[in-house]
Amino acid sequence: MKTLPFVKKPSLGTIGSAVVLSSILLTACAVAPVAPPGAAEARAELNALQSNPDMVRHARVELRDAEEAVRLAEQPLDDDEAALAEHRVYMADRMVAIAAAKAATRKAEAAREQLSEEREEARLASRTREVDQARAEARRARQAAEEATEMSARETAELQQQIEELQAKTTDRGLVLTLGDVLFASGSAELQSGDNRNLEKLVTFLNEYPERDVLIEGHTDNVGSAAFNQTLSRQRAESVRRYLTERGIQSRRIDVSGIGMERPVASNETATGRQQNRRVEVIIEH
């Protein structure tokens, strides 16, 4: 009788380890990083250009630069780097648009030169409709390239100017505008009448950038009880929100929080330090 080879059965421990390993692998796949929003659209537009021989022939350098920008935009980033991801996608879109405009311009110029040579050989007998069309395409393409470049520079400059006018600081939380205690009387949550230029600048900024939301935080010094300061800081934040909504800023864009005396920015041992701690901070989110 022929003896069958002995096959060792897998132990329960081995099976359990395999199940755990499979679960870990499935979990790792489930949380695989993804590209930021908009990166896929930029990639699709770039692929369309790269599949067009005319585009590749006339804008090889620009397409290479656009490829680098799109690759950078596709890199996954942490949630706290959303502004950087948005900027990278924006720059990728601009680079793709510039590459398309440059290619169209050079294609039109090449066509114009060829037609010019043919026209010269024919002793400039006539102007053809193709020549006019080529010139028009070249003009539109040049305008598109210039507008794309100017738009990017203008938008960046305008945003920077707005930030400087607000005297806001750029932080990981967004743009932070600090309003001193001169807006309120001591112990009061009512905005004092008078010069509120910073608040008016904030209203202008929020009107120009309607996609941005704000968080208003009230802060106090350590004079008085913690409960009193908590309530006062919340009420002051509410007063600033009411000021903004009365001037047309939608309430859904505004959130408020009372921090009380928990986050001082200076020592409460001096009058100057306490004054710095009595403040309202407006965080303009990315």
Please give the domain boundaries of the chain with CATH numbers for all domains.
39-155 (no CATH), 167-284 (3.30.1330.60)
Q: According to the model, what pLDDT value does residue 118 have?
A: 81
Over the stretch 114-165, which tens digit does the pLDDT of each residue have?
888 888 777 777 777 877 787 888 788 888 777 766 656 676 667 677 677 7
CA angle 232, 234, 235 (to 5 degrees): 65
pLDDT higher than 50, residue 7? no
Under DSSP, the state recorded for 175 is: E
pLDDT of residue 249: 95
What pairing do the DSSP bridges indicate for beta strands 214-219 and 279-284?
A: antiparallel
User: Are 90 and 211 a contacting pair, CB within 8 Å?
Assistant: no
Of all residues in the chain, the percent with pLDDT exceeding 70 is 81
Q: What is the mean pLDDT of residues 181-209?
A: 81
DSSP class per residue in 254-265: EEEEEEETSS-S
Asked if pLDDT for residue 216 goes beyond 90, the answer is: yes
Confidence category of residue 265, pLDDT binned at 50, 70, 90: very high
Range 74-78 average pLDDT: 92
Q: Is the pLDDT of residue 213 over 90?
A: yes
- Tell me how many helices (H) and strands (E) the chain has: 9, 5
**Is pLDDT at 29 greater than 50 in this prediction?**
no
Give the burial class of 86: count Cβ atoms within 10 A of its Cβ; 0-12 exposed, 13-18 middle, 19 or more buried: middle
What pLDDT does 151 receive? 58
Where residue 28 falls among pLDDT bands split at 50, 70, 90? very low
Model pTM above 0.85: no
Average pLDDT of 92-102?
Answer: 92
Q: What is the average per-residue pLDDT within 53-70? A: 91
Residue 230, SS3 per DSSP: helix
Q: Kindly report the average pLDDT of the chain as a whole number.
A: 82
Per mean pLDDT, which range of 161-165, 201-205, 231-235, 282-286 is the poorest?
161-165
Instruction: Give dist(CA 5, CA 87) in Å, integer.
Output: 65
Look at residues 148, 64, 144 and name the one whose alpha carbon lies nearest to residue 106.
144
Question: Of 103, 80, 84, nearest to 92 (Cα)?
Answer: 84
The count of C-alpha atoms lying within 13 angstroms of the C-alpha of 187, restricted to the half-sphere facing its C-beta, is 3
